Amino acid sequence: MGSIIGAMGCSSSVADRRSENVIRAAILIQKWYRFTMARLEMRRRYSLSIFQSIEYADEQDQLQLSNFFTFMLDHCTHPESVSQIFTSPSAPQVVDEDLCLKEFEKKIDVPDSYYGPRLSFPLTVEDANALLHAFRNEQLLHARYVLQLLSETRRVLKEMPNITHLSTSYSKEITVCGDLHGNLDDLLLIFYKNGLPSEQNRYVFNGDFVDRGKNSMEILIILFAFLLIYPNDLHLNRGNHEDYIMNLRYGFTKEVSKKYKDHWKQILCLLRDVFSWLPLATIIDSKVLILHGGISDTTDLDFLNALERNKLKSLMRPPKSVRNRQDQMKKRIPTTKPSKHIANQHVAGKTQHISSSGFTEPPGSNLPPDPALKEWKQILDILWSDPRSQNGCTPNKCRGGGCYFGPDVTAKLFERYNLKMLIRSHEFKPEGYEISHDGKVITIFSASNYYEEGSNRGAYIKLNPELTPRFVQYQVSKFTRRRNLRERVGTIESSALKSLREKIYAHRSELISAFAQYDINGTGRISVNDWAAAMESVLQLELPWRMLRSQLAQMNPDGEVDFMSCFYDLKMGQPIKEAQPALAETLCRYRKDLEIIFNIIDKDHSGLISLEEFSQTWRLFTSHLGIDIEDDSIDKLVLSIDYNKDGHIDFNEFLEAFHVVHRLEKKATS
């Protein structure tokens, strides 16, 4: 009996030990899983921070480029090639407001070989369904129908107020969508999940329909078609990208010119007008304000509702009276020639902004009040501003336009207009939405996979009669589901670091100078803190540089950073021996800006411009930005790439020589 009890006790203790081991193993696995997930989340977050910082820096560059266009018009000896971006095109390109639908039929023939949708006006739901079907199959709508659609859209928009008022009493819910940025798949998925627009299924689309994505034109056509069919049930607000100068940089202009080679100028001319007629905001049940960007401490909804919104075709180019006013202010303030370091900061766009909050006049200024200035400031703020957690209203230096507004600014506006909620878009959010200011401000962002496949979800809001928001998230999944989380994060991280390294290489000389200030003994090594400080002082991206150090630079056994290792894996695309290092770096940094400028000068889109136009444009560009490059160096370079000596150069081929190549990637793919 004793032996039986002993055996039972032994087996019990063995079972207990096994149970303890299982629990320990489970705890270890759980700790490992949590640690792994935390590291993946950290990598995902800093990757998204890199993308967003570079995006905002690019917006500052766009402002700098817009300023240059104005400068170019004032100083170019042949300004007619540039003036087309600011003034009405020549007579054959103009789309007359009184041009009726029948006249488009006479002027533009649709061949029998065209198998896409054939629209007849007024449009029906069947027409909208035909468009959806065609775009799912990557068909184009013929230019005649595009122009007819845009002409009708302008006619309808002109009858709409600046601020649209809606009521939930006419339908159970209203759906609010944020930025789409040319991502057609997101719009199709929203309609699949939430239903097509109708009298019972009302929508508000809150701007930024275009740019960045490849199907901006298709999104506009679909939204405008439903607007014509249901003008009281589908509503559109203007975003900061419904702006023809923004479209030059971010892809929409290029998209239209490629898709509609024969009629792109007419389409863009008409779109410029259509964008200017888009309403500025929507208010639901007198309680929920919906606008694209945000507000400032001077936002006046009554003033916004009364101004002539179509006068401002682009916020990137303030009215002439505003520019004259700025010039008068500059003359009153004594200036000295900036140092090279300050000039470089100026070039990077860090010292310039068009924030209305930052637009101040010196004390004692006797300049008279300017209505055009107030209109520009008011619209600029609602299209460009972002919320922040701190009280107050300050210039939005990251974007270079609009302001940061705090909870106190929101509360003040709500009290004045008896509002309950502000819904805005304009900002990337990893989950597709974000709630701030104690639930009073909601950001909604509807473009999933915005930076990279798998980088974020999109979302839309459902508002019921009680005005309680319900969020619906989604993500277009072409490849994402085939990858595990580690692979998805790795792809996002790799893409973000690639963009950051290109930014680093484009500022190579400035970074080396900044590193040298800390490297007193000329060892080529500095501390991690000094390396991080130098990186931020030059790039001004507000990134966690210490965390990123292992991805960007090598460290020696003593814990110091070999700062030149930042550039080891990068080089210029196709080195041209005539290009001096300083010149090559400058061309690399401003490659995107120069491409936009040269495409404007290239009227016939042949890809060729004359040596004279190239040289003059380059001198104006460097003069405006304060870049110190000797004239003879660019002259020698230009002559060297005129291969057939006909006095013209292929500028796209030329600029391709100044892009950054990642050596490790090149080896991997070869």
DSSP character at residue 420: -
Q: For the chain, state the CA radius of gyration.
A: 28
Which residues lie below 8 Å from residue 317, measured CB to CB, with a gap of 6+?
66, 69, 70, 86, 245
Q: List the catalytic residue out of 235, 241, 437, 624.
A: 241
Interatomic CA distance for residues 624 and 397, integer angstroms: 21
CB 362 within 8 A of CB 333: yes
Q: Given strand 386-387, what is the order of strands in its sheet? A: 386-387, 403-405, 393-395
Q: Residue 137: how many CB atoms within 10 A of its CB?
A: 8
For residue 490, what are its two tokens? 């790795």
Report the distance separating Cα 34 and Cα 31, nearest Å.
Answer: 5
Spatial distance between the Cα atoms of 458 and 445, rounded to a whole number of angstroms: 6
The 3 state secondary structure assigned to 119-145 is: CCCCCCHHHHHHHHHHHHCCCCCCHHH
- 241 assigned to active site: yes
Q: Looking at 164-215, list the stretches that DSSP marks H as alpha helix, in order from N- to C-terminal side.
A: 184-194
How far apart are the C-alpha atoms of 466 and 582, rounded to whole Å? 62
Residues 591, 658: Cα–Cα separation, whole Å: 7
- 207-217 burial, b at 16+ Cβ within 10 Å, e below that, comes to bbbbbbbebbb
- According to DSSP, residue 293 is labeled S
CA 499 to chain centre: 15
Cα-Cα-Cα-Cα dihedral sign, residues 89, 91, 93, 95:
positive
* Active site amino acids: 241
